[in-house]
């Protein structure tokens, strides 16, 4: 039968629950480690879930790569598009025109509303290759034929638009004509183009839903006086995290006038902010472990004082300094292992039932703790990353062992004569 070495066996005996003040400190230390590990696992997993969901939303409406020309529209774009499509890593490619316009509602009653969204011109049959827009229509239909227009859910709500409403669009061309007429002193009215809202989309990302409107490529080219030119090409690849590698491959087949931007570069601000927030949360919450470590240290110091006589007797019987040190270090190790294991189980349990708990708290408090209108997630996201869990559990256990190092080392330094004399 397997028998423990006497050092950890004696440490377990010392940790046996007793109705003493030291036992209470030990129990509090275990609870502190448990809560620290559990909270860290929950928060870091939720932050990872936010990061994954945000990336999915961004890549659902935004291409993995965008090809543009430096300081000019892209003419004769069919040739580059065909060359790009031959790359084995490319899943789809489509042209686009995108720029800011001035829009005005045309209500039957009341005052019109004015906004300045971004208009995006697309080829309807090609758009499904590069975005989720065709599958994101929540009202109306996916139709940009004629003067058809698709608007985001938040944009429609803020402007009071419904399917079938008319939206006047002042393009840069219209604004330029107004300026020229004003400079010449002539009185001529420059009318905007009237578009009909044929569909409302929701791609799951507030920024796109509130600030982008969609029309056909030909309409967008007309708004920007581009003739047959486009602003660029949108590329979807099989593995979005290979965007930099694919960009290098595509640049070799294009001349030096083209510029390729990855989705990571285009959205670096919000992605970096989320990564920094996750790291800051990790460091702040890790102080819970440091507090728990002080509890372990204080418990072991008290143990050493209480067991001074036993230490002297063990030393007199031939126990080495290392063996005495290992007895008390084993105590901090056992506390750490128990706390980490229970904390890991508690964290996994909380993540499994996070949305049920959130619903319970919403009903209990009477207000929404995780408002979907702000975060635009129907459920609290979470992603369990094994590497993060390993770092949390490993670092927590190391902190617990480190907390017991000083009192254990101090116990090992005690001389038998001095230890027995004080008793």
pLDDT digits over 19-49, tens only?
555 567 777 788 888 888 998 899 888 888 8
Mean of all residue pLDDT scores within the chain: 81
- The yes-or-no verdict on residue 197 having pLDDT over 90 is yes
- The yes-or-no verdict on residue 184 having pLDDT over 70 is no
Confidence of residue 129 (pLDDT cuts 50, 70, 90): confident
Calculate mean pLDDT across residues 185-211.
80
- The yes-or-no verdict on residue 6 having pLDDT over 60 is no
Q: pLDDT, tens digit, for every residue of 289-348?
A: 787 788 778 777 777 777 677 777 776 677 777 777 777 788 888 888 888 999 999 999
The span from the CA of 296 to the CA of 400, in Å, is 7
The span from the CA of 29 to the CA of 301, in Å, is 13
C-alpha closest to that of 126 among 99, 92, 98: 92
Q: pLDDT, tens digit, for every residue of 69-127?
A: 887 888 888 888 888 888 888 888 999 999 888 888 888 777 888 988 999 999 988 88
The span from the CA of 415 to the CA of 98, in Å, is 81
Range with the lowest mean pLDDT among 12-26, 50-64, 71-85, 170-184?
Answer: 12-26
Looking at per-residue pLDDT, the higher value among 131 and 13 belongs to 131
Confidence of residue 185 (pLDDT cuts 50, 70, 90): low
Calculate mean pLDDT across residues 168-194.
69
Q: pLDDT, tens digit, for every residue of 236-294?
A: 988 888 888 888 888 887 777 788 888 888 777 777 887 888 888 888 878 877 877 88
Q: What are phi and psi of 302, to 5 degrees?
A: -65, -40
The strand pair at 212-216 and 193-201 is best described as unpaired
Degrees, nearest 5: CA angle 37-42-43: 100
pLDDT reported for residue 297: 82
Whether the Cβ atoms of residue 88 and residue 215 lie closer than 8 Å to each other: no
Rounded alpha-carbon distances, angstroms, from residue 388 to 45, 200, 304, 394? 8, 39, 35, 10
Structure tokens at 190: 């420059």
Rounded alpha-carbon distances, angstroms, from residue 152 to 112, 160, 189, 213, 261? 19, 12, 30, 7, 25
Confidence of residue 1 (pLDDT cuts 50, 70, 90): very low
Alpha helices in 160-286 (DSSP H): 172-184, 206-211, 217-223, 243-252, 263-266, 268-285
Q: pLDDT, tens digit, for every residue of 343-398?
A: 999 999 998 888 888 888 778 877 777 766 666 666 788 888 898 899 999 988 89
Range with the lowest mean pLDDT among 9-18, 39-48, 149-158, 254-263?
Answer: 9-18
- The yes-or-no verdict on residue 149 having pLDDT over 90 is yes
Confidence of residue 151 (pLDDT cuts 50, 70, 90): very high
pLDDT reported for residue 258: 83
Identify the three-state secondary structure at position 206. helix
pLDDT reported for residue 190: 65
Looking at per-residue pLDDT, the higher value among 417 and 414 belongs to 414
Rounded alpha-carbon distances, angstroms, from residue 140 to 87, 144, 158, 167, 386? 36, 11, 18, 16, 43
111-118 long-range contacts, CB within 8 A, separation 24+: 113/158, 113/159, 113/160, 115/155, 115/158, 115/159, 117/155, 117/211, 117/212, 117/213, 118/211, 118/212, 118/213
pLDDT reported for residue 2: 43
Q: What are phi and psi of 215, to 5 degrees?
A: -140, -175
pLDDT reported for residue 106: 85
Structure tokens at 71: 């300081």
C-alpha dihedral, 235 to 240 to 245 to 251, nearest 10°: 10
């Amino acid at each position: 039968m397997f028998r423990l070495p006497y050092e950890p066996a004696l440490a377990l005996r010392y940790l046996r629950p007793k109705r003493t003040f030291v036992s209470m400190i030990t129990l509090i230390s275990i609870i502190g480690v448990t809560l620290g590990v559990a909270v860290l696992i929950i928060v870091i997993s939720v932050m990872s879930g936010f990061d994954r969901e945000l990336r999915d939303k961004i890549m659902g409406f935004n291409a993995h790569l965008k090809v543009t020309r430096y300081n000019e529209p892209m003419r004769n774009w069919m040739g580059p598009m065909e060359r790009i499509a031959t790359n084995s890593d490319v899943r789809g490619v489509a042209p686009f025109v995108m720029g800011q316009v001035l829009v005005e509602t045309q209500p039957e009653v009341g005052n019109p509303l004015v906004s300045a969204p971004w208009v995006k011109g697309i080829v309807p049959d090609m758009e499904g290759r590069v975005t989720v827009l065709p599958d994101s229509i929540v009202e109306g239909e996916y139709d940009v034929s004629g003067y058809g227009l698709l608007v985001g859910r938040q944009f429609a709500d803020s402007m009071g638009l419904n399917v079938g409403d008319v939206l006047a669009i002042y393009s840069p061309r219209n604004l330029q004509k107004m300026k020229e007429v004003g400079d010449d002193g002539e009185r001529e009215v420059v009318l905007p183009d009237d578009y009909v809202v044929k569909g409302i989309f929701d791609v799951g990302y507030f920024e796109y839903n509130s600030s982008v409107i969609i029309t056909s490529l030909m309409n967008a080219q007309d708004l920007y006086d581009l003739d047959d030119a486009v602003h660029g090409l949108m590329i979807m690849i099989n593995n979005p995290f290979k965007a930099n590698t694919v960009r290098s491959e595509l640049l070799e087949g294009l001349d030096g006038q083209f510029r390729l931007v990855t989705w990571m570069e285009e959205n670096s601000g919000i992605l970096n902010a989320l990564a920094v927030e996750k790291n800051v949360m990790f460091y702040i919450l890790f102080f819970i472990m440091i507090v728990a470590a002080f509890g372990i240290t204080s418990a072991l110091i008290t143990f050493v004082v209480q067991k001074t006589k036993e230490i002297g007797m063990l030393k007199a019987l031939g126990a080495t300094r290392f063996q005495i040190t290992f007895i008390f270090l084993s105590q901090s190790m056992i506390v750490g292992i128990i706390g980490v294991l229970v904390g890991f189980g508690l964290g996994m349990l909380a993540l499994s039932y996070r949305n049920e708990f959130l619903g319970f708290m919403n009903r209990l408090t009477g207000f929404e703790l995780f408002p979907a209108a702000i975060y635009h997630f129907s459920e609290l996201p979470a992603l369990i990353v094994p590497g993060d869990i390993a770092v949390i559990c490993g670092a927590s256990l190391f902190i617990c062992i480190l907390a017991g190092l000083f009192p254990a080392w101090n116990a090992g330094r005690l001389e038998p004569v001095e230890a027995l004399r004080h008793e």
